[in-house]
Amino acid sequence: MPAPILDAYQFGRIVVDGVAYTQDIIIFPDRVQENWWREAGHSVSVGDLETIFTAKPSHLILGLGAASRVQIPAETMAAIMEAGIDVTALPTREACYLYNEMKDQERIIAGIHLTC
């Protein structure tokens, strides 16, 4: 099964494989997890990444929002690195482009914040 393709992104809306989403998502190599809620809306905690850690990606791309308002605390970055996962955090538009460039590589996952 080919990895999902990000067709379009605009503030508050993303289209993946022709399906539009209006809430944050996680894109796995074989599926999209809808409604990615975080414990503290604009911060990514270790607990927010539980399904990602379980999937054991080689690389995690985080879309931090249109204005990059989502924060990744040092504790979360340390847990990602300790799990052996490379991570790239970018404004959401750039994260979407990077995901599409890398999606066919082994075990790429993207966590995408759609708004601010």
Count of domains for the chain: 1
Please tell me the pTM assigned to this model: 0.95
Each of the 116 residues of the chain gets a pLDDT tens digit; together they read 789 999 999 999 999 999 999 999 999 999 999 999 998 889 999 999 999 999 999 999 999 999 999 999 999 999 999 999 999 999 999 999 999 999 988 799 999 999 99
Residue 31: phi and psi, rounded to 5, are: -170, 170
Coil vs helix vs strand at 41 = coil
**Structural domain containing residue 69:** 6-112
Q: Which CATH number goes with the domain that contains 33?
A: 3.40.1230.10
* Number of Cβ within a 10 Å radius of residue 86: 12
Strand partners, 74: none
Q: Is residue 1 part of a domain?
A: no
Q: Is residue 56 part of a domain?
A: yes
Q: Which residues lie closer than 8 Å to 98 by C-beta, 6 or more apart?
A: 61, 88, 90
CA-CA distances (angstroms) from residue 95 to 20, 83, 101? 17, 21, 10
